[in-house]
Copies of this chain bind each other. A is one copy, B any other.
Amino acid sequence: MNTLVNLGGIVMKNPVTTASGTFGFGLEYQTYVNLQRLGAITVKGTTLKPRLGNPPPRIAETPSGMLNAIGLQNPGVERVAEEIMPQLAALGVPVIINIAGDTLEDYAQVARRLDGVTGVAGLEVNISCPNVKKGGIQFGSDPFTASEVTRAVKSATELPVIVKLSPNVTDLVVMAEAVAGAGADALSMINTLVGIAIDVDRRRPVLGNITGGLSGPAIRPVAVRAVWQVHRAMPLIPILGMGGIMTARDALEFILAGATAVAVGTGNFVNPRATLDVVEGIEHYMKEHSFNEISELVGLAQRDINKE
Contacts and interface: CB of A to CB of B under 8 A. Distances in A.
Given A170-B169, A170-B170, A228 B63 contact: no
B219 A196 contact: no
Q: Is the interface of A mostly helix, strand, loop or mixed?
A: mixed
Interface range on chain A (Cβ under 8 Å from partner): 35 or more
A204 B244 contact: no
A214 interface: yes
B170 A200 contact: no
Interface in A21-73: 62-65, 67
Contacts of A141: 170-171
Contacts of A170: 141, 168-170
Contact of A197 (B169, B194, B224, B304): B224
A198 B212 CA distance: 28
A92 interface: no
Contacts of A169: 169-170
Contacts of A212: 221
A156 interface: no
A203 B65 contact: no
Contact of A195 (B216, B221, B305): B221
A212 B244 CA distance: 18
A84 interface: no
Interface stretch (A109-117, A177-185, A248-256): A248-256
Interface in A208-236: 210-212, 214, 216-222, 224-225, 228
A176 interface: no
A256 B195 contact: no
A137 B171 CA distance: 11
Contacts of A214: 221-222
A198 B62 contact: no
Contact of A218 (B196, B198, B205, B218): B218
Given A198-B253, A200-B249, 12 more contacts: A63-B216, A64-B64, A64-B218, A141-B171, A194-B222, A196-B224, A196-B257, A197-B221, A198-B252, A211-B225, A217-B218, A218-B218
